[in-house]
Amino acid sequence: MSDGRPIGVFDSGLGGLTVVKELFRLMPNEQIIYLGDTARCPYGGRSNETIESFGIQDASFLESKDIKLLIVACNTVSSVALEKVREQVGEIPVIGVVLPGCKAAVTRTAEKKIGVIGTRATIRASSYKKAIQSIDPSIVVYGKECPLFVPLVEEGVVNHDITYSVVQYYLYELVDSGIDCLILGCTHYPLLMEAIQGTVSSRIELIDSAMWTAKEAYDILNALDARAEEDRDGFAQSHFYITDFVPNFEKSAERFIGKKINNIELVPLDQLADLVIGK
């Protein structure tokens, strides 16, 4: 049996499109409904209460689009508000971006030492540490918040001397700790892959959360026998929504997803808020 309904994906901004890129790579026939809350991004430095409130609004919007699966492509929301989002959307299966990368890292670390980098909220929530140690409590997890990485990516300063200085500034301690896996715990970070791998030792494997999250979605849809029919162009049928037409959003989106999106639509913030109040 096939299920032609769309997959919902949201993020605080456009970074979650790195997850969508991986979804299309594995499942080009799936239709995606994407929401990026560009009017209020980034979420990473905000309080847990605010992150929860924004995440619930984002999820409600996608819930109203008759989705078959919800992917929280925002590490911050996945780290501090995944359960609240689950409660909000009821029956729809929900995947966050934290657990898939953790599972991959656990199977790969020989030294049993894993590093995690992310926004302030992600690292402070210790979500990766908890997820890894729930699988194998003997693994030591080193977290490091890297708040300047997102602005660097947003500015397109991803392969400059400054980028390398900032990567060095944040990561030198992690490298010294003896980790052999480093989880990129933010959807923006895959764009810094080259600078990060160039800075840390080549024996440290980088784990891209976006890729492993897409893999998890693929496994779940197959297990539920809920894949779309094969002869469909998923990208052509997908919808991309943002809450603010920020300057350069088209160029920025293209950087994350790797191709041009022609039909990005606006959802005003008050519409998001009303959906939750209306429940």
162 binds a copy of itself (CB under 8 A): yes
169 binds a copy of itself (CB under 8 A): yes
Nearest-CA neighbor of 257 among 11, 9, 19, 12?
19
Residue 102 known to be catalytic? no
125 binds a copy of itself (CB under 8 A): no
Tell me whether residue 152 or residue 257 sits nearer to a copy of itself (CB atom): 152
Nearest-CA neighbor of 34 among 240, 254, 211?
240
Piece of the chain touching a copy of itself by CB under 8 A; list 64-72, 84-92, 202-210, 244-252? 244-252
State the CB neighbour count (10 A cutoff) for residue 156.
13
147 binds a copy of itself (CB under 8 A): yes
Active-site option among 41, 74, 102, 181:
74
- Is the link from the previous residue into 268 a cis peptide, with omega within 30 of 0? no
Residue 146 known to be catalytic? no
Are 61 and 275 within 8 A, CB to CB? Answer: yes
DSSP 38: T
Tell me whether residue 4 or residue 45 sits nearer to a copy of itself (CB atom): 45
Cα separation values, 81 from 51, 150, 163, 216, Å: 7, 20, 30, 19
251 binds a copy of itself (CB under 8 A): no
Given the rule CB under 8 A, which residues bind a copy of itself? 38-40, 45-47, 49-50, 120-121, 124, 147-148, 150-152, 154-155, 157, 160-162, 165-166, 169, 244-247, 270, 273
